[in-house]
A and B are shown apart, each in its own frame.
Chain A
Amino acid sequence: MTSVKTFAWLTLLFPLAGCIVNALGYRVLRGKAPGYVGTAVLFASFVSAVLMLFALQDLAAEERHVRAVAWDYMAVGGFDGQLALLIDPLSAFMTVTITGVSSLIHLYSVAYMGGDRGYARFFSYLNFFVFSMLLLILAGNFIFLIVGWAFVGAASYLLISFWFRRTTATAAGIKAFVINVLGDVGLVLGTFFIFRGTGTLDYLGAFEKAGEISGGDVTAGCILLLVGAFAKSAQIPLHTWLADAMEGPTPVSALIHAATMVTAGVYLIARMWPLFEESESAAAVGAIIGCLTLFVSATIGLVVTDLKRIIAYSTMSQIGYMVMAVSSGAYVAGIFHFYTHAFFKALLFMAAGSVIAAMAGVQDIDRMRGFRGAMPFTFGCFVIGGLSLAGVPPFAGFVSKDEVLAYVADRGDWHVALVVVGYITAFITALYTFRLIFRVFFGEPSPEARELEEGHLHHADVPRNPMTGEEEDTDVGFPGPEHHIAEREGPMKGAMGVLAFFAVFAGFLQIPNVTDALDTFMEPTFEGSRFHEELHPSDALTFGGLAIGAAFSLAGIAVAYLIWMRRPEIAAQVRERFRPLHTLFVNKWYADEALDRLFVRPAAWFGRFAQQTFERVVVNGLFVGGPVGLVRAGSAAVRSRQSGFLRAYAALMVVGLTGVVLWLLIRA
């Protein structure tokens, strides 16, 4: 028990220590030292997370809910907020996955961010992010869930705006931050509803009393928790920040916007299962929104041309699967998909980063072609990641996605419709993934690819903002002068190699009819859950699903091959034929515009009205102008008798006091 607690605190404190060392030592740590410090603490954190997991496994099954308390945080009145952690199979499993993938991403960054002038700052932020994420996962009560939640949002803001002199990056940062604050508000309000019903902020206490909360409160509370989950996990309608967040350096996209942070919403719903099982309707909202998101973002991924944004939309889509799963009661399947997704999506982002480096920062796939020969390692990794994402057997993504769909299908009723959408989207997923691969890696090499084949990494004469074309320099606040590709950097190669291995084999943790290691492991967390016990897809459902999934993804790849390799003119024809649809997709279903009309503009209008009209006319005119005029007149009268306004004050005071005393005397 104590060792579990010790390792949990250590897991949490290593990244924090790294953050502080890198922040304070930015002048002392020379060269790559900050990178090694940052990576070393993460590996240390990973090791202690693994030890924590083993220590937890040593306990008897019913004891695997360990609370570690540091001190009282806000324990007054009716509140019982403590700085407390909860270590159970769910949090332990997520901690191990997150620290593992994060340490690889740190390793990759050691080389990738090599030339950047904000090197120490980058690793300080990155460490802080992992600390925040672990706090979110390990928190033992609602208070520290919210704290971790907000810290993650702040870290993500800092990393998106890492190149802080780029106006596009700062604009994306504030957008991400504000939408995340909106999610925080949802979480806090949801906590209020639940706290009102249970009288405790502690997870275990609140879950025990979940049945005592009134029906309205539990539904309101769960839907508000979902608002938080949607904002953080970029689900419709709070998803617009994620694509813009690609302004951050690529390792950030890999870490935050693929592997860890955006899955926080999935964790939240899985963690709160005792509440969601009390509210049928809230769970349904989650499942439907997840399904909607997975479809809509896949359609957008099919038409945008920015390399990182395509992968970002695919992330949204995959998280949609997870949200749909955990909202439908398929908790372990959702967590399983989170786990495989972390590997293959981080891998895809890293490979994309390598390509972008070869293009000297350009992200538009219209300008990329034929990188296969120039970057064989990157190409190999990209294909492995792509096959896993597309769900081709036997890659990791194949097993986990089909488990999600089989479990959701087992719910029956309208959930079957969700599954149909899920399979259609699996086809679209394969389509957009291989559209990307065929367009970037195949065909006639672009000038940059050619240059690389001749052994020279392309270098722009004047660095420019890839989005706006503005000129930049390479000092602090802009990307550094050098770019780094996986083929030439050991750390990048190492990190991508490990991830590629897991992108292939991670799925073997849980294979239908062979092993259900994850299911067994998670048992203590989901003990007593209705759905966890009831949902057992039949063999027909499972294997039929696997077959359909494989067929859809292979079909997707085949169609992609036909369109973008064999008959490139088809793409243009399709685009012409379905012009309105294409416009809708390219404009991201007009979500940005809708949010703008609904929230941003009214707020701006109110601000302008207050600033330009109300303050001038009412506050200054009515409340100030009146009395000031009165006193001016009075003091003018007094001034004529050689007096200053201080005397006017005294005079008025005397008059006033006399009046009051007189009035009191009369009353008495």
Chain B
Amino acid sequence: MTIHLSIVLWLPAVAGVLALAARRFAGWVTLAGSLLAFAYSVVLLIDFNASSGSLQYVTDEAWIEQLGIHYKLGVDGLNLALIVLTTFGFTACTLWAALERDVARTPQFFFWMGLAHSAVLGALFAQDLILFVLFFDLMLVPFFFLTLIWGPTPRPDRVRAILKLFIYTLVGSLLMLAGAIATGVLSLPNEATTFVLSDLERIAMDEGSQRWIFLCFAAAFLVKMPAFPVHGWMPDGYRNMPLPVLAVFSAVLSKVAAYGFLRVVMPLFPDAAAEFQMLALLIALASILYGSAMAFTTTETRLILGYSSVAQLGFITLGVFALDDAGDGAQGAILQSVNHGLVVLPAFFIVGLLAARAGSEDLRDMGGVAFRAPVLAGLFLIVALATLAMPGSANFVGEFMILFGVFDVKIVIAIVAFTGVVLASVYMLRMFIRSMHDRVGPSVDSRDIRVRDGLVLVPLVAAILFLALYPQLPLEKGEQTIPSRVQSARQVLAGEEIAVDPREAAAEAAEAEEEAERAREGEGREP
């Protein structure tokens, strides 16, 4: 039992509250909170015992005992890398917002940023289904306000976009909440209700209930990603968010949805997951193709990135539902979530820099920006090549694992999905060339980045390069955990009896948890 995770979880929110009082220094206070959370998460990453597949640094308090809802947090190989991505992304975007001098950001802005940070961390840490749902829904609240108040577009547009986003997520959230409650109620009809995930995992629910609860959760996650064809909120939402907010929204929030599939859906509803595998793979494939096609026809730079996210999330979904023997697809999906987050953050930042030089965010107004901006061009090039998953980037490793996972199981889908790989090179290079290269646009003022911009951009690019050299780091942290998340669904698919009695496995896992905790305390190591 440790308090570490609670500290990491609430630090940013506390900093956000303090920011309300800090007035002029609001940005820096929130930044300090995010930075501390980031540092803490890096320590967790280093200290994390990768050879153990069980939860570590667990906090478990009964919260609403009558209903069996616990305040249970924990870290394992599944969420570790995403936690570091979250703290890193929020730190970068808070720094970016704090450095923006030409836009008025009141302390309130930073309060919402801090709250959003905590909410996302909560959704990732949560080991209780209700806690997960609450944090998952809480995540959106700050973004509503951030968009509504600080969006770059006229207010009526923002309101409309928010309304759209609301309706989509409302439907998803309600379905998910219903599914979560049903899971708790239906799982243990004769025992006390519990929502703790590790308890729920050891119960085999009947297939009929699994089926509809699966659909509830899937709807919520697919909307959040977004996946084709429920991405209708995305274009309006993306157009109307302030860039630093959009960057973190696109980089982090969509990953929580992919994570949700592996944390909740796969182990809890394995029969349904196996049954709907084909449907999910087809939705993922459609997202890849449709997202790519939209990305190479639109001229709005934000939407190129937006639709490329739809395509990339399609790859991630493909990996989640690959259900191959070795779990390569799922491991690739988590790696790819981290990678995509890391490339989207600098990409949106670059959109901001391009817009400042061309006077608009439309590709047609750009051209030749690289003329007097070699540093910007170089950094953008690295980001663009990583985004199109060029071999040598960690994005390629993720894609390779995902596609091999699918190839192993459904070869035709993998081959069609490769179209998305080719199309990615078309839309990213098109964006790079039409903004940076060709004749200098009439209203383009080509100038290189300032030191201030470099403070945000260079660490992000450095992170991309580091992972490109050593993707093994996130991979080996997840090796023990991630394949086991999809194991039961895979066994259902293969028609095998679920090998280990899940009850025993869960009991063993709990024992191992305690043991790991004891060992940690015995060694006197503090994360």
Q: Which residues of A contact B (CB under 8 A)?
A: 23, 26, 71-79, 81, 121, 143, 146-147, 149-151, 154, 157-158, 161, 164-165, 167, 170, 173-174, 177-178, 181-182, 184-185, 188-189, 192, 195-196, 475-477, 603, 606-611, 614-615, 618-620, 623-624, 627-628, 631, 645, 649, 652-653, 656-657, 660-661, 664, 667-668
Contact = CB atoms under 8 A, between A and B. Distances in A.
Given A26-B374, A77-B328, A660-B181, A167 B438 contact: yes
Interface in B95-134: none
B71 interface: no
B229 A177 contact: no
Nearest to B329: A77
A149 B229 contact: no
A498 to B, nearest CB: 33
Contacts of A154: 385, 390
Contacts of A73: 397, 470-472
Contact of B232 (A610, A619, A660): A619
Nearest to A610: B293
Contacts of B229: 618-619, 623
A661 B232 contact: no
B476 interface: yes
A265 to B, nearest CB: 16
A619 to B, nearest CB: 5
A185 B374 CA distance: 30
A73 B472 CA distance: 5
A196 B407 CA distance: 9
B229 to A, nearest CB: 6
B483 A620 contact: no
Contact of A149 (B189, B391, B400, B429): B391
A627 B167 contact: yes
Given A74-B471, A151-B391, A164-B437, A188 B294 contact: no
Contact of B297 (A121, A611, A645): A611
Contact of B437 (A74, A161, A614): A161
B439 A79 contact: no
A583 B201 CA distance: 71
A616 to B, nearest CB: 11
B231 interface: yes
A146 to B, nearest CB: 5
B422 A181 contact: yes
A229 to B, nearest CB: 16
B392 interface: yes
B374 A661 contact: no
A611 B298 contact: yes
A72 B439 CA distance: 44
B472 A75 contact: yes
B185 interface: yes
Most buried by A among B174, B391, B471, B475: B391
B163 A645 contact: yes
Contacts of A150: 390-392, 396
Contact of B430 (A79, A164, A174, A606): A174
Contacts of A151: 390-392
Given A76-B476, A606-B293, 20 more contacts: A72-B476, A76-B331, A78-B328, A121-B374, A147-B392, A151-B390, A161-B437, A164-B437, A165-B440, A170-B437, A174-B433, A185-B421, A192-B414, A477-B370, A606-B289, A607-B296, A610-B290, A623-B230, A656-B174, A656-B178
A620 B236 CA distance: 11
B177 interface: yes
B32 interface: no
Interface in B140-189: 163-164, 166-168, 170-171, 174, 177-178, 181-182, 185-186, 189
Given A121-B374, A165-B438, A476-B371, A664 B185 contact: yes
B374 A188 contact: no
Most buried by B among A71, A151, A606: A606
Interface in B296-327: 296-298, 326-327
Contacts of A660: 174, 177-178, 181-182
Nearest to A664: B185
Contacts, number: 185
B459 interface: no
A185 to B, nearest CB: 5
A590 to B, nearest CB: 22
B404 A192 contact: yes
Contacts of B275: none
9 contacts: A76-B476, A77-B401, A81-B397, A154-B385, A167-B439, A181-B422, A476-B371, A610-B297, A614-B290
B274 interface: no
B421 A181 contact: yes
B331 A77 contact: yes
Interface string B367-382: 0101110100010010
B380 to A, nearest CB: 12
Given A77-B401, A170-B437, A164 B415 contact: no
A277 B391 CA distance: 28
Nearest to A181: B425
Interface of B: 163-164, 166-168, 170-171, 174, 177-178, 181-182, 185-186, 189, 229-233, 235, 289-290, 293-294, 296-298, 326-328, 331, 368, 370-372, 374, 378, 381, 385, 388, 390-392, 396-397, 400-401, 403-404, 407-408, 414-415, 418, 421-423, 425-426, 429-430, 433, 436-440, 470-472, 475-476, 478-479, 483
A624 B368 contact: no
Contacts of B189: 668
A664 B181 contact: yes
Contact of B185 (A146, A195, A668): A668
Given A185-B422, A192-B403, A619-B232, A174 B475 contact: no
Given A72-B472, A178-B422, A607 B391 contact: no
State the 10 A-B residue pairs at the shortest beta-carbon distance, nearest first.
A150-B391, A607-B297, A77-B326, A660-B178, A164-B437, A611-B297, A624-B232, A147-B392, A181-B425, A607-B293
A74 B368 contact: no
Contacts of A477: 368, 370-371, 437
A147 B391 contact: yes
Contacts of A181: 388, 421-422, 425
A606 B294 CA distance: 9
Given A76-B479, A77-B401, A174 B429 contact: yes
Contacts of A631: 163, 167
Contact of B378 (A23, A79, A164, A611): A23
A151 B403 CA distance: 21
Contacts of A603: 293, 296, 423, 426
B297 A649 contact: no
A149 B396 CA distance: 13
A151 B391 CA distance: 7
Contacts of A178: 422, 425-426, 429
Contact of B401 (A79, A147, A158, A661): A79
B135 to A, nearest CB: 17
A127 to B, nearest CB: 14
A165 B297 contact: no
Nearest to B178: A660
Given A74-B400, A77-B331, A189 B437 contact: no
B436 A164 contact: yes
Contacts of B388: 181
Contacts of B440: 165
Contacts of B185: 664, 668
A631 B163 CA distance: 9
Contact of A628 (B164, B174, B289): B164
Nearest to B390: A150
Given A71-B470, A75-B472, A189-B418, A165 B368 contact: yes
A30 to B, nearest CB: 16
B232 A649 contact: no
Given A74-B475, A619-B232, A628 B326 contact: no
B338 to A, nearest CB: 14
A196 B103 CA distance: 55
